[in-house]
Every structure is written in C-alpha cells, then in structure tokens.
Amino acid sequence: MKRSRFARRGALNRDAEQLARLAAGLAASSSRVEDAFWEHRLDEAIDRLLRTGNEETLNHALDHLFGTNGRAYDALADQIESRAEGGVLGAGNGEFDVAMFAAPLLAWSRFTIPSGPLPGGALAAARTQLQAHVLAAGAKLALADFLYSPDQLPRGFVETWRLANQLAKAAVDDKDARIDPRQLPETTRFISDTRYLIGAVLAPRGQALFRWQEEDGSREQSATQWSVQGGSALQPLFTGCALEPLLPEVFHAACRNADQGLRIYSLRAAVAFLQTVLNVKPQQLRAVVAPFHEERLEEYRVGFTLADSSQVVHGVVWPLLGAEDETTDSAGQIESVLEETGIGSVVVLEQRFPLEFCDDCGMPMYPTPEGETSHAELPEDLPQAPAHLH
C-alpha cells in the first residue's frame, strides 16, 4: 500500500460503495480485457465525483478499502490519481492526451529559498529547457506562472483536478497559465526544501508526451540534461541557493519522488550548511538519530552537534513515507547517507521519543547524545549567522 490513512467508521454512501465495489472488481481481475471493463466504469464514476467536487466520497471509499482490501485500495488510489492529473481532451479526430506534471527542485540556502509568482524570464527559460530535454517534440506545454512550495500544492484530488484542468486548457494554446497568488498560503521557511514547477503537456492521442517515450530518448538522458541545463537556466532565480532539479514526471509520481529525494537531500544539506556557518569540517560534526512516536512510529529526527558538545545546533526530520513503518530500516538508510558526507560520527538511539515540538515556535525537538530532546539552536556568537533559523 502506498499511502496510509486512518479508517473512518460509518456506513458508505451509495457513490462510495460503488467505487469500492468497482475497485475490488479491478483488483481481483486476472485479465487485461476484464481490467479494461472495470477501469472504464471506475473512470466514469471518479470523473463525475471530481467534476462535482465530491472529495469526501473519494476519501470515504479509500478509507473503507484501506482497512478491508489493500489491493483494491491501491487500485482505487492509482485510478483516482491518474484521473485527477490527466486524461483525454476533445473528441473524434481532435482528441488529445494531456497530463499535469511537476518538476521538483531540491534546494538549500542559508538565506531564503524563493517561492511565489515566477518572473517572465524564469518562466521562459524553464519552458525552453523543458521543451528541449523533457517533453516530446511537438508536444504543447502550459506552465503555471508560480513556483510552488510543498504547502502550496493543491490539497486533495479535486483541487489537483481543477489545477490540471486550468493547465490543460492553456496547453491547448501552448500558453502559460496565470495563478492567483492570493489563493495560496504563505510558505514556511526551511534550510532545505522542495520547490515545484507545475505544468501540463498535451499531444495528439497516442503520441509521445515526454522525450523518453521517443525512440532515441531515455529517462536517464532527460534527467541528466534537465539537471545540468535546466539547473543552470534556473539558477538566477535561486540566488544564494544550492539547487538540484529532479526529473519532471506526472504530478503524483513527481511529488512522491520529491518527498523521497528531499529526505536524503536535507541530511546532506544539513552537513553542508553547518560546515559553512560553523566553519568546521564534517569530521567535527556528530549526528544523533532517533525514532519519534505518537500512537505509532511517525518519523525519525536527526540532531546535529559539534563532536565535543551536546548542544543540538541543527535538526532534520526524516518522515516515514507511504507504507514505511517500524519494520523499515530507516535508521540504517539515514546512517548510510550521513556517513557518505564524511561526518565524524552517527549515534543511533533505540529508545522511543514522544513526538514533541517547541512550545514557543512549534519547531520539532531533536534528540541529544544523552538521550534527551532539545531545541536546535546555533551558537549565538557566530560571525554571520542568520538571526533565527526557523
């Protein structure tokens, strides 16, 4: 199972019941012919709910299946995501495949990572690079004129579907789409974070949308070229930031890859950041890794200290993603990423910590080498330290 949800109690309404039944049929099907039957009916039901903004029924059906039929849950989640992020426009000979995609950009900075409305120059540069390295020849493109932070991404399937529709309509004319920044929440500032370019790509039905679907293309090639050329074209927008562009993909897949990528990136960024602000070598740093629980294991937190001090100077959260739980070797993964940075030592604590946050600023509390928790705070006498890290 990809995502975790808490099952809600209560009877299913008729629409949710129908979704659950169709998804169970699809999950149990053993042929492509039968798959197509169930998928077609499921698509019609999902499309109707998306069109009428019925987020609740979609979630209700998912919640129900999560507790009772894991394979049907996965089938339904996949189908809802794919209907929300793309589909077919037009009719007859004028049919087009269209997909909303995201281009995740991992960044870290001592200063501010930009977000918000995109200047025309940056938008044009992104368009040129995407067309050269990521999209199929002749595919039409619409980009949102907004650089999204994670808390500004569409929340829920209906919002995702609405944004996908707005972009798809703009893609018909190969034009970018205006996003009203007043509709989006403020961004929380972090040392390392993800930003997203979001767009829609459109091509005649059955034709390639992405460069790697073409005979002489490949994902590896697109990833490298986008990372290098796209990265340098976007660098002016990210003044004072380190930037790592990930391969753009259809929306939900891109978001999942970005979440995975950011966990690793944030650990590396933390070591690089501390090297810069404390003027130390990685060998002079220590990381303390520990599991944090609420009702169940929620996340790992990593407290960074100088090798000869217990004061936590910086912290990184490693959230569990998808179906990960206490049986996943998260501590081992964290340890190996940190060891690659050349850090002096990594201490893994076995004890369970409660999911605590700072009473004053709401930031997470991090583990200390002594097995306690502490607020992360840079020493105050730093030469050019940022005033407050939060």
Q: How far is CA 386 from CA 111, 197, 280, 381, in A?
A: 8, 28, 17, 11
Joined tokens for residue 275:
């090297």
Rounded to a whole number of angstroms, the minimum distance from the CB of residue 367 to Zn ion is 16
By CB under 5 A, name the one of 358, 377, 385, 386 that touches Zn ion.
358
Considering the complex, state which of residue 308 and residue 360 has its C-beta at the smaller distance from Zn ion. Answer: 360
Alpha-carbon span 172 to 139, nearest angstrom: 10
- Residue 307 as a binder of Zn ion (CB under 5 A): the answer is no
Considering the complex, state which of residue 251 and residue 273 has its C-beta at the smaller distance from Zn ion. Answer: 273
For residue 303, the cross-strand partners are 288, 315
The residue among 136, 160, 152 whose CA lies nearest residue 252 is 160
- Residue 360 as a binder of Zn ion (CB under 5 A): the answer is yes
Give the binding range for Zn ion (CB under 5 A) out of 31-39, 42-50, 77-85, 357-365.
357-365
Report whether 303 contacts 367 (CB < 8 A): yes
How big is the site for Zn ion, counted in residues (CB under 5 A)?
A: 3
Rounded to a whole number of angstroms, the minimum distance from the CB of residue 357 to Zn ion is 9
Considering the complex, state which of residue 203 and residue 313 has its C-beta at the smaller distance from Zn ion. Answer: 313
- Residue 189 as a binder of Zn ion (CB under 5 A): the answer is no
Rounded to a whole number of angstroms, the minimum distance from the CB of residue 352 to Zn ion is 23
Rounded to a whole number of angstroms, the minimum distance from the CB of residue 74 to Zn ion is 39
3-state helix, strand, coil in the chain (%, to 5): 45, 25, 35
Rounded to a whole number of angstroms, the minimum distance from the CB of residue 364 to Zn ion is 10
Rounded to a whole number of angstroms, the minimum distance from the CB of residue 17 to Zn ion is 47
How many other C-beta atoms can be found within 10 angstroms of the C-beta atom of residue 146? 21
Alpha-carbon span 362 to 382, nearest angstrom: 24
Rounded to a whole number of angstroms, the minimum distance from the CB of residue 377 to Zn ion is 8
Give the binding range for Zn ion (CB under 5 A) out of 2-10, 133-141, 152-160, 350-358.
350-358
Considering the complex, state which of residue 140 and residue 375 has its C-beta at the smaller distance from Zn ion. Answer: 375
Rounded to a whole number of angstroms, the minimum distance from the CB of residue 388 to Zn ion is 8
Report whether 211 contacts 220 (CB < 8 A): no
Considering the complex, state which of residue 360 and residue 370 has its C-beta at the smaller distance from Zn ion. Answer: 360
Considering the complex, state which of residue 54 and residue 305 has its C-beta at the smaller distance from Zn ion. Answer: 305
By CB under 5 A, name the one of 36, 307, 323, 361 that touches Zn ion.
361
Report whether 326 contacts 346 (CB < 8 A): no
Report whether 9 contacts 57 (CB < 8 A): no
Q: In this chain, which residue has its C-beta nearest to Zn ion?
A: 361
Report whether 351 contacts 33 (CB < 8 A): no
Burial status of residue 361 (CB atoms within 10 A of its CB: 0-12, 13-18, 19 or more): exposed
Considering the complex, state which of residue 339 and residue 356 has its C-beta at the smaller distance from Zn ion. Answer: 356
**CA angle, corner 219, sides to 214 and 220, nearest 5?**
130
Rounded to a whole number of angstroms, the minimum distance from the CB of residue 358 to Zn ion is 3
Considering the complex, state which of residue 216 and residue 380 has its C-beta at the smaller distance from Zn ion. Answer: 380
Bridge-based pairing state of the strands 146-147 and 314-319? unpaired
List the x/- string, 310-349, binding to Zn ion by CB under 5 A: ----------------------------------------
Q: How far is CA 369 from CA 166, 281, 306, 326, 365, in A?
A: 51, 19, 11, 22, 13
Rounded to a whole number of angstroms, the minimum distance from the CB of residue 141 to Zn ion is 43
Considering the complex, state which of residue 47 and residue 377 has its C-beta at the smaller distance from Zn ion. Answer: 377
Bridge-based pairing state of the strands 96-109 and 297-306? unpaired
Considering the complex, state which of residue 44 and residue 356 has its C-beta at the smaller distance from Zn ion. Answer: 356
Q: Is the C-alpha dihedral spanning 324, 326, 327, 331 positive or negative?
A: positive
DSSP-derived secondary structure letter, 191: S
List interacting residues with Zn ion (CB under 5 A).
358, 360-361
